Structures are given as structure tokens and as C-alpha cells.
Amino acid sequence: MNIRLFSQRDLQRLAGRRRFRRGLRLVDTIDDLYEDEWSLCATVHDCEPHLAMVHHRGSPLSTECDCPDGRPGSFCEHAVYYLSNDDPD
């Protein structure tokens, strides 16, 4: 399943430039990627592994992460993991 309901531009707007750039460096560290009709979920290996989710159904786009910055309403760098080199944004 490859549901494209948001773009890199959306992620950058929500995460902010600094967190988005830090998140780009983490893309190659993901493991256990899972996608269903509602969410994208992966383990992102930073200094320690973090479970990050992007809920792509509904509005607004929302995330969850078990890192200290992953509180409700925030968009941490671990949630930027769902990127693809072929995304034109």
C-alpha cells in the first residue's frame, strides 16, 4: 500500500525547517515500516529507537512519537521519516 495523501512540503510545513532537516538525516535509519489505510508507522533509530506514526487520514495530518518532543500537537523529526526520493515536493 502506498497512500500519498501528503507531500514532503506538508511535512516541512508541519515540522518546521530545522526538524524537517534533522528528520531527513534519519530516513535511512528506519526499520519495521508498516502502513495501513490510516497511518504510517516505523521504528526510527536516532540515539535510541523511537516508534513514530503519521496519521494520514483526516485533517489535520497528525503524528505520535515516543520521543520527548513527540507530545500531542507537536511534529518531531522522527515523524518526518516517510519520505521518498521520487517525491517532487
* Tens-place pLDDT, residues 57-82: 766 778 889 998 887 778 888 888 65
pTM of the predicted model as reported, rounded to 2 decimal places = 0.73
Residue 42 domain-assigned (yes or no): yes
Angle, CA 47 vertex, CA 79 and CA 41 arms, to 5°: 30
Residue 87 domain-assigned (yes or no): no
Tally the domains of the chain: 1
Residue 3 domain-assigned (yes or no): no
**Cβ proximity of 52 and 68 under 8 Å:** no
**Residue showing cell 507531500:** 7
Residue type for 83, please? L
As a whole number, mean pLDDT of residues 20-31 equals: 87
**Cβ proximity of 79 and 23 under 8 Å:** yes
Residue 85 domain-assigned (yes or no): no
Residue 62 domain-assigned (yes or no): yes
Q: Which domain does 75 fall in, by range?
A: 8-80
Residue 88 domain-assigned (yes or no): no
